[in-house]
Amino acid sequence: MRRDIFQAIADPTRRAIITLIALQAMTPNALAENFHTTRQSVSKHLRILTECELVKQEQKGREIYYSLEIEKMKEIDKWIAQFRKIWETRFNQLDKVLSTIKKQKK
């Protein structure tokens, strides 16, 4: 089953996992040490992130290391960028309005 990436990043634990593995590849045990939860719970979050292709697995010996899938993160950034432009335009318009009001009060 393919999951929606935005549904995946809606969960705060999964966002925290993404933040951790953005710095370096980590095993499920190493990740679990950063949370007040079980390794199984972290593994479930990793499975969801893997299904969404936000993280990738790499087998090294007996351990599986998870790392961030940068291209998929770029898709999220691209989607957010369209709203960033709208927000920046509106903030600039608000700045102009506030500046005008401030000048009128003087």
Q: How many domains does the chain have?
A: 2
My answer on whether 59 and 9 are in the same domain is yes
State mean pLDDT over 87-106.
Answer: 87
Contact 38, 28 (CB under 8 A): no
Tell me: pLDDT of 2 over 70.
Answer: no
Check residue 1 and give its pLDDT: 56
State mean pLDDT over 49-74.
Answer: 93
Contact 66, 56 (CB under 8 A): yes
CATH code of the domain containing 61? 1.10.10.10
Domain that includes residue 95, residue range = 70-106
State mean pLDDT over 36-60.
Answer: 93
Identify the burial level of 84 via C-beta atoms within 10 angstroms of its C-beta, where 0-12 means exposed, 13-18 middle and 19 or more buried: exposed
My answer on whether 56 and 80 are in the same domain is no
Q: What is the pLDDT of residues 3-42, one digit of tens each?
A: 788 889 999 999 999 999 999 999 999 999 999 988 899 9
Beta strands at 55-60 and 63-68: parallel, antiparallel or unpaired: antiparallel
My answer on whether 94 and 62 are in the same domain is no
Identify the burial level of 31 via C-beta atoms within 10 angstroms of its C-beta, where 0-12 means exposed, 13-18 middle and 19 or more buried: buried
My answer on whether 59 and 22 are in the same domain is yes
- The pTM is what? 0.76
My answer on whether 63 and 74 are in the same domain is no
Percent above pLDDT 70 for the chain: 98
Residue 3 DSSP class:
P
My answer on whether 49 and 101 are in the same domain is no
State mean pLDDT over 60-78.
Answer: 92
Cα 106 from Cα 88, distance rounded (Å): 27
- And the tokens for 47? 């499975």
